[in-house]
Each structure stands twice: as C-alpha cells, then as structure tokens.
Amino acid sequence: MTSVMSETAAVPDEPGNDGEPVRGGEALSSGPVRRVGYREVLARPVFRLLWWTGALGVAMDTLRMATISVLVYSGTRSPLLGGLAFGAGFAPQLVGSLLLGSLADRGRPRLLITAGQLLSACAAAVPAFVRLPVGAALVLVAVVAALAPVSSAAGSRLVAAELTGDAYVVGRSLNTMATAGAQLLGLACAGAVVGGIGPRGALLVSGGGYLFAALAVRLRLPNTAGGRSQTAGERTALVRSSWGGARALLAAPRTRIVLLAQWLPPAFAAGAEGLIVPYIGQCGLPFGDAGLLLGALATGMIIGDLIVGRWLRPASRERLVAPLTALLGLPLTAFWLRPGPATAVVLLLVAGLGFAYGLGLQRPFLAAVPAECQGQAFGLLAAGMMTIQGVGPVLFGAVAQLGSAAGAMSCAGFALLVTAGWQARITQLPPSARGLKGE
C-alpha cells in the first residue's frame, strides 16, 4: 500500500521557482505552465469516461429532483414542501462530506463511484414503484444526497491523478461546461418527459440513466486501490476521522482561503438566480420568460468556461479571478432598474461569463491541499458549493420579502463586487500572508 499514494492520489507536479517540482500541499509555482487543449484532455480514457458518466448523472439528477418536486407538490399543493423536495437534494451534502468524506481517500474509486450511481438509481426507482408519504420521500432524497459527496470526491481524486499541470484545469473547464449543459438538458427534458409519460415514468427514465452510468464505470474504469492505507483504528472510526479531516482542512489558512474564494461567488449568484421567477412575476411579465432568463445564465457559463479554459494561459486565468467575479456581479446590480426581458437576458448572459473565475482557482486549490486528504478536500469543496447555493436563495429571498426581487438581485450583485475586492486583495498579498507557504 505504500506506493498507492503516488499512483492514485498525488497532486500533479508543477515546476517550482527553483526548477524543482512542487507536489500537492506545497506552494503553487509561479513558473510557466504548458497550455493544454481540450482534445488532449479528452484523449485520456479515464477522464473521458468520468466526464461523460458524470454529465449523465447530473442530467439524471436534475430530472429526478424536478420530478420528485412535481410529485410532492401535486400531492400536497404546498409550494414549501415542493421547494423542500428540490432543496433536500443539496443541503445534506455538507453533512455527508463532514461525516463520511474520508472514505474518498480510503475506498477504491470504482467501487465508490459505482455505488453512488446505484444509490441514485434506487432513489429514483423507489418512488416510481411505491407511493411514499411526503416525509419518507424527503428522507430518501436527503439520505442519497448525504452520500453523494463520497462518490463525487472519489471521481475528482482520480481526475487529479490522471491530469497533470494545465491539463487538470482544462479538465475542470470541460467538467463545468458538461455540468451546465447537462443541467440545461435535464431541465429542458423534465417538462417533456413528465408531460409525456408522467412523473413515475420520468423517474424510471432517470433510474435507467443512473444504471447505464454505473455499468459503464464498473466495466471500463480501472480498479485502482484507495488513496491511502488504513490502520485498524481508522477502519472503526470513519466518522471521527472524517470530521477531524474536515476540521483540519478548514483550520488551515491556505485551504480555507481558497475554499471561501470558490464558495462565496456561487452563493450570491444562486441568490439572484433563485429570484428570477419572483422578478418575472413582480414585473408583470409572462412566466414563460423565466426559462429564457435561466437559460441565459447557464449559456453564459458555458461560453465563459470555453473562452477562459481554451484560450487563456494558466497565469492569465489566475490573474483574472477577481475581475471575472466582478463581471459576474456587475450586471446583476442593474436589476435595480427592473430591465425588460430582452435586456435581462443580455445582462444574465454577460453575468454568466463570470463563472469562469473558478478556473483560476484550480491550481491554487491543488497546491493548498495535502495529497493524503485530497479526496476529502474535493468532497468538502463540492458539498460546500452545493450547500451554500441552497443558503443563498434563502437569504436573498428574505431580502426580497422585505423589499422586492429586483432590489434583492441587485444586492446579490453588490455582494459579488465586494467578494471580488476581497479576492483581489488576497492575491496581492505576499504568499506567506495568504497561506500559500508553510503553515
């Protein structure tokens, strides 16, 4: 087991300032990094498999959660319960990451990823065949959501081991675009599928997609060992080890700074996105326009990642983190003026370009995380992103309740501008002051 770490969990080597390679957990190099194209990254069989099966899983997640929300709402006529049914697939992920996250560094990735897809298939099939009480349906969704970070983190750890240098950042760009596209596809298909074959039929379609992804991973992904060996005590103390590892990651300044830099922008952006439907209603516009506005934001995200990931050099991406975050927020401040649907689509399309800020934080994140807990760090990052995107709409929804949706969306934009200012200040500090050297 002593050689497993270097084979499956090592952070990609980067050239250091003194010519020596910098490994995971050390300072990020400021030296030149070879730019890599999408074709080169997609030529890697392991990445390509995880890329398309992950995108399929996101599309099936979107279809499943939208369908369960329809089932709950149609059975209760309660908007609150319908919203809870959708939100229950996100918030519990942080709990799962904190309590079970270390599994991503211990278990075999193929087993963890396959198990995650099979659990999601069960979560789709059970309500399709059994008429569950609302409480039981919500619990089922929450339990599966709590386990999701383990399988996703195992996949992220494999990607980090498979792709080195700039290839890792380009791979993350491809994943972001695939995720956004899969969400758009899932939302677009949800209405048609539910309308055509009913909610329970739509759940079976979702379950079939999960099974197909699980089968592909089981048959085509190499069965590599876990990221690190375990002592007998560790095997019996999973929760304690996971909780301790999460606390250690958040307590380390270098890791905490990079996590916050990635968590805060989507929290505020999601707060504005969650108010698009109320904004449409308060402006007296047709509710059908909401789909155009939501699609514009996702389209901007895809275009931004394509431009920044494909044509900018690694150093340029990292310099543009704060300006891109500002680009995400600035158009949102204009919603104070209550723009019409055409102008709102343009504003959201431009704002979506700013989501590419995250590409400039991928190499710093890898450099900040110790290699021995890399899988757990990926799980914490993803779970925190999902959870905080659920908190943002609640906070800005409360602001809209006191004022207006337009005003709350504008406030979210100003919060993003403040975040961009903090990011700019952090990047201007010397490395030792921002935690990018030894603790």
Residues 32-70 have pLDDT tens digits of 556 678 889 999 999 999 999 999 998 998 888 878 877
**304 and 272 within one domain:** yes
If pLDDT is split at 50, 70 and 90, which confidence band does 72 have?
confident
**385 and 316 within one domain:** yes
**423 and 289 within one domain:** yes
**279 and 211 within one domain:** no
**194 and 157 within one domain:** yes
232 occurs within a structural domain: no
**269 and 362 within one domain:** yes
17 occurs within a structural domain: no
32 occurs within a structural domain: no
pLDDT of residue 80: 52
Give the total number of structural domains in the chain. Answer: 2
If pLDDT is split at 50, 70 and 90, which confidence band does 6 have?
very low
**216 and 85 within one domain:** yes
156 occurs within a structural domain: yes
**135 and 258 within one domain:** no
Mean pLDDT of 119-132: 92
1 occurs within a structural domain: no
Q: What is the 3-state secondary structure (H, E, C) of the chain?
A: CCCHHHHHCCCCCEECCCCCEECCCCCCCCCCCCCCCHHHHHCCHHHHHHHHHHHHHHHHHHHHHHHHHHHHHHHHCCHHHHHHHHHCCCCHHHHHHHHHCCHHHHCCHHHHHHHHHHHHHHHHHHHHHCCCCHHHHHHHHHHHHHHHHHHHHHHHHHHHHHCCCHHHHHHHHHHHHHHHHHHHHHHHHHHHHHHHHHHHHHHHHHHHHHHHHHHHHHHHCCCCCCCCCCCHHHHCCHHHHHHHHHHHHHHCHHHHHHHHHHHHHHHHHHHHHCCHHHHHHHCCCCCCHHHHHHHHHHHHHHHHHHHHHHHCCHHHHHHCHHHHHHHHHHHHHHHHHCCCHHHHHHHHHHHHHHHHHHHHHHHHHHHHCCHHHHHHHHHHHHHHHHHHHHHHHHHHHHHHHHCCHHHHHHHHHHHHHHHHHHHHHHHHCCHHHHCCCCC
Q: Which of the listed residues 193, 227, 261 is the one where a domain comes to its end?
A: 227
Q: pTM for this structure?
A: 0.65
CATH code: domain of residue 371: 1.20.1250.20
pLDDT of residue 8: 31
**393 and 416 within one domain:** yes
Q: Which of the listed residues 227, 262, 295 is the one where a domain comes to its end?
A: 227
Q: What tens digit of pLDDT does each residue of 73-122 get?
A: 677 766 456 556 656 676 677 777 777 767 777 788 999 999 999 999 99
Q: Which domain holds residue 270?
A: 238-439
Q: Which of the listed residues 227, 249, 268 is the one where a domain comes to its end?
A: 227
